[in-house]
Homo-oligomer: A and B are copies of this chain.
């Protein structure tokens, strides 16, 4: 088993060992924002330094075969989870993989793809944090946890525009998947180092500001010290509070309101960035939702993840 402790020991004991990449897991339910978050990080780090893959193609059955199965594609029984674990171990130890490819347009398994890990490996997947061995392959893990209403709206928009489904099909799909979501996807939340919840503000404004971000920072990794610069006053646009997690354990909760000012956000980002050992210029373009539209909550979230990736190098 690849243990997190072993993997981060540096310098490496043998010169002959393959260079080990920094591994980031992005978990979360369907349409929870995994691809968007991964894409932004790849842009910030640079495409030439990143390998970004999705491990949702380890299907045991194709679409036609799944028709008569008592479970959906979200169920571990519907996937080669053992092969996913094996491939993650390969990537974590610097080795290439031949990853299966599922063709969403035909619902069949297509030509596998050769993937070689670069310096940073960003992996997204529905079952990524579902097993101990899979989790052990990562230096840092994130779980995206938007409010269920928001996720359903995102899924509706994506599947009816990009994937060619009707609204009725998406509604039926969500209903069919609910049980497997509850049993197999949502429980993964508790294994992530960081839980990210983008959500609209409780009090509506016109025009609506960008979504706020609430980040649970679990002590499973070392976060940048922020308590000395952030208030614990929850009326402030950015604040850090100790809260009780769903299971009752205390955890730091960083909140960035959608209408947090750029200046205030920059200050927080500077403090995070100052903690990076490898002093380089702060990446540009963080927080960009679309050309010209910027979200401070997204910028802070991306920078915090970037910070963790660089800490692991």
Contact = CB atoms under 8 A, between A and B. Distances in A.
Interface of A: 58, 60, 62, 80, 82-83, 86, 90, 95-98, 100, 108-112, 114
Nearest to A96: B82
Copies of the chain in the assembly: 2
Nearest to A95: B86
Contact of A98 (B83, B96, B108, B114): B83
A110 to B, nearest CB: 8
Nearest to A60: B114
Contact of A83 (B60, B82, B86, B114): B114
Q: Top 8 A-B pairs ranked by shortest CB distance?
A: A109-B111, A83-B98, A100-B112, A112-B112, A82-B96, A80-B114, A98-B100, A80-B98
Given A98-B112, A108-B111, A109-B112, 16 more contacts: A58-B98, A60-B114, A62-B111, A80-B98, A82-B96, A83-B96, A83-B97, A83-B98, A86-B90, A86-B95, A86-B96, A98-B98, A100-B112, A109-B111, A110-B111, A112-B112
